[in-house]
Amino acid sequence: MEISAKLVKELREATNCGMMDCKKALAECDGDMDKAVEYLRKKGIASAAKKEGRATSQGIVGSYIHMGGKVGVLVEVACETDFVARTDTFQEFVHNVAMHIAAARPLAVTRDEVDGSLVEKEKEIYAAQMREQGKPEAMIEKIVVGKVDKYYSDVVLLEQKYVKDPDMTVEDYLKSVIGALGENMQIKRFARFEIGG
């Protein structure tokens, strides 16, 4: 099947992947745009996994101010080289993550950073709710584990549904950019400020 330059360009704009990768993905997927996007995401995630563990000593601190100055975010995103830190793709990623943080209000980047006392309090609340509903004790523990996972997906940045594309998590988005740029990247930390919040 002949893949048109227009189709390659569309896929490239949609995914930020290289031209040859887009062309190959479209060829592999018989010109189906949705399948090609999925193919590239899987490829990006696979190549991102290979880059984990590589040192990230460069990067930028990005900011985002929302609602007429009522909400502000600072986020530190690290990468391997200053060259990548200066690319439009990297800077757009940092801006988008800051915007996501403003909207989604995460508490921490990873599960390990969530205050343990908050998690214990959530567990107590869930268990009490289940007992109130008359659930057997043997089931309560399993239900609480599921509810705690759901809690993490609400408050942990990497596990949240990405506000601009709820079909992926922030971690999926991060891995797709790692795949596109060919360097390891990490969201190191963030601070979210809100007037009266």
pLDDT (tens digit per residue) in 146-164: 999 999 999 999 999 999 9
Tell me how far CA of residue 88 lies from CA of 16, 71, 83, 92, 93, in angstroms. 10, 24, 11, 6, 8
3-state secondary structure of 165: strand
Of the pLDDT bands very low, low, confident and very high (cuts 50, 70, 90), residue 90 is very high
Q: What is the rounded distance in angstroms from the CA atom of residue 122 to the CA atom of residue 147?
A: 9
Residues 6 or more apart whose CB falls under 8 angstroms from that of 172 comprise 41, 45, 162
Domains of the chain listed by start with CATH number: 5-51 (1.10.8.10), 58-109+156-194 (3.30.479.20), 115-154 (1.10.286)
Residue 46, pLDDT score: 47
* Range 111-118 contact pairs with CB under 8 angstroms and sequence separation of 24 or more: 111/152, 111/156, 111/159, 113/156, 114/152, 114/155, 114/156
pLDDT digits (tens, 9 = 90+) for 99-116: 999 999 999 999 999 999
